Each structure stands twice: as C-alpha cells, then as structure tokens.
C-alpha cells in the first residue's frame, strides 16, 4: 500500500467508502464486516462514514456502529486507522436526504458520532453539506468550537465551492485538513476546488470516484458507464479492472487526492486497494485525458459524440 497525508497523518492512498454497507440494498452484517476486514488486510487505513449512512428511519449512525463493531472484531492492530465521519445530513427513511448544518445540531451530532465510534475524539469530522438555511460561517464556526472542545481532532468540509473553502480555511486555520467533493473520470466540476486544495495543502477526498466506470451508490443509475473507452482498453492491456485504472488516474491528478471508493464485497475493496500501486505511463494518461475531455463535452451538451464510444 502507498500512503498519502491528511495534515500530518499518513493514510493509505486508497480509502474505503463505507456507505454501501448501510444504505439501500446493503449486505448482511457478516459480509459487511468481512468487507471492512478485507480493506484492513489490504492496508487501507482510511475509512469514510457518516451518521446519515443508513437505510430506514430511526437508525441514524448505523454505519458508524457497524464500523466500530468491525474494528473491534478485527484480529490485527487498528491503531493507525483514521475514521472520517460526517454530520449535517439526515435520512427520514423514504429514500431522501435532508440537510441540517445548524451549529447546535452539528455539535450534538459530533458528540453522538464519537460515542457510537467509541472514541474520545473523532479523528476527522466533516461538515457533510452546506445548509442554505444557515450562514456558512456559522456552520464552520461549529467545527471551530468542536476543535476547541477536543471533540474532534481535525475538520473537513464536503460538497463545497472554492469560496467556501477559503472562508473555512480562514476560520479553522490548520484545523481544516480536507475537502470531500464529487470528482471522477465522468464528473470534474470540482477541478477548481482540487487545485485550491493542492495549493493550500488540504487533502481532497473524491466521493463517487468511479463515476463513468461504476454507478454511484448515492445517486443510483446515472447514465451509461464508459464501456469501450480507453479506461477499458488500458485495463485489458494491463490485466486489471477498469476501476483500478480510474483510481490510478485520480491519484495522478494531484498528491492531494485520496479516493474513497465504496464497496460492499471483500473482492471489490481488495481490487480498489491494488490501484495504489498502479502507475500509469504518460501515454496512458494522455489517452485517459482524451476520454475525460469527451465526457466533459457530453455532460455540457447532452450529446453523445461518436468519439465518446471509442475513447477519443
């Protein structure tokens, strides 16, 4: 396993997005725990969760409790595992997602998350999404208060703009260590945010990092995958999965990038972890960049250019 850093903490270059273990169509607990254990066996030391990662009403924190149980049952040392959780969203049980970044709610949510995870202080606590009903500076101020109180050791923000990153950085200083936005071969709207994170020394954790290669567990089916493109061709030539090629491509974008692909089976997480050691040549990266450019054009125009079917 290769490593990257979140502030001064070394973590695996590929993390585990634990959401699929708790939301709709989740596996049974035995397979879920086996998936977490497979990640740990593969050298994964970053696990991404949230209090809103659950399926039914009344089971907030399902994923956090699951992760805590899985770690407790693991036979090896887990002292170097960083659990990154999030607060500020909810799920009423009808399939929808709500937003609540009120400072009082965030403080209570962080305390509840720490209790479920069985820790005195949360290693990385992320504001899940800006709340249009709450001034951004007030929501970020709650993270400042949580840092000062010792409830959390480091803070992150998610689904944010460059302006919001700058404001949060002013308020939190070195306490802000990460940004988690959607970013993948097919969705590159957060390119400006990635560049800013690289300049500021913040880790950038892409969610749904396999968009265009695999469907997102959060959004459901979102269009065709990139069958027939350079991702598949290069994967076939290398004898690896297209998902590994996509993750290796993400790692090549910036030293700040630490993808957290979701998994619900041990085989999937083992495959993703192997991407950390996969180095793409300049020629392969050029081919993949052509594919990404085509995807951007298709997303902007709604058209399906002929070159999108053949990888540019």
* Residues annotated catalytic, as ranges: 53
Are the C-beta atoms of residues 179 and 150 closer than 8 Å to each other? no
Q: Which of 52, 65, 68, 53 is nearest to 23 (CA)?
A: 53
> In angstroms, rounded to a whole number, what is the distance separating the alpha carbons of residues 156 and 172?
10
> In angstroms, rounded to a whole number, what is the distance separating the alpha carbons of residues 214 and 163?
30
Are the C-beta atoms of residues 92 and 98 closer than 8 Å to each other? yes
Q: How far out from the chain centre does Cα 158 lie? A: 9
Q: Which residues are paired to 261 by β-bridges?
A: none
Which ranges in 118-241 belong to alpha helices (H)? 136-149, 162-172, 191-200, 230-238
Are the C-beta atoms of residues 202 and 177 closer than 8 Å to each other? yes
């Amino acid at each position: 396993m290769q490593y990257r850093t979140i502030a001064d903490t070394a973590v695996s270059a590929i993390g585990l997005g634990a959401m699929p273990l708790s939301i709709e169509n989740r596996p049974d607990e035995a397979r879920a725990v086996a998936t977490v254990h497979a990640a740990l066996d593969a050298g994964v030391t970053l696990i991404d969760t949230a209090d809103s990662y659950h399926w039914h009403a009344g089971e907030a924190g399902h994923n956090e409790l699951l992760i805590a149980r899985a770690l407790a049952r693991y036979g090896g040392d887990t002292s170097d595992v960083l659990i990154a959780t999030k607060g500020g969203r909810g799920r009423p049980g009808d399939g929808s997602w709500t937003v609540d970044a009120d400072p009082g709610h965030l403080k209570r949510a962080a305390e509840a998350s720490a209790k479920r995870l069985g820790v005195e202080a949360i290693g990385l606590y992320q504001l899940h999404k800006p709340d249009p009903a709450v001034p951004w500076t007030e929501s970020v101020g709650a993270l400042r208060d949580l840092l000062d109180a010792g409830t959390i050791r480091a803070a992150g923000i998610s689904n944010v703009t460059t302006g919001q990153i700058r404001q949060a950085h002013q308020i939190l200083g070195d306490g802000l260590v990460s940004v988690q936005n959607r970013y993948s071969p097919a969705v590159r709207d957060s390119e400006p945010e990635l560049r800013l994170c690289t300049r500021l020394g913040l880790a950038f954790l892409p969610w749904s990092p396999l968009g265009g290669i695999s469907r997102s567990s959060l959004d459901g089916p979102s269009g065709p995958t990139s069958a027939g493109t350079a991702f598949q061709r290069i994967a076939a030539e290398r004898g690896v999965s297209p998902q590994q090629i996509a993750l290796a491509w993400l790692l090549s974008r910036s030293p700040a990038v630490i993808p957290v692909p979701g998994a619900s089976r041990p085989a999937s997480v083992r495959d993703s972890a192997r991407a950390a050691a996969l180095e793409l040549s300049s020629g392969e990266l050029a081919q993949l960049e052509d594919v990404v450019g085509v995807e951007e054009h298709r997303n902007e125009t709604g058209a399906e250019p002929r070159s999108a079917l053949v990888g540019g």
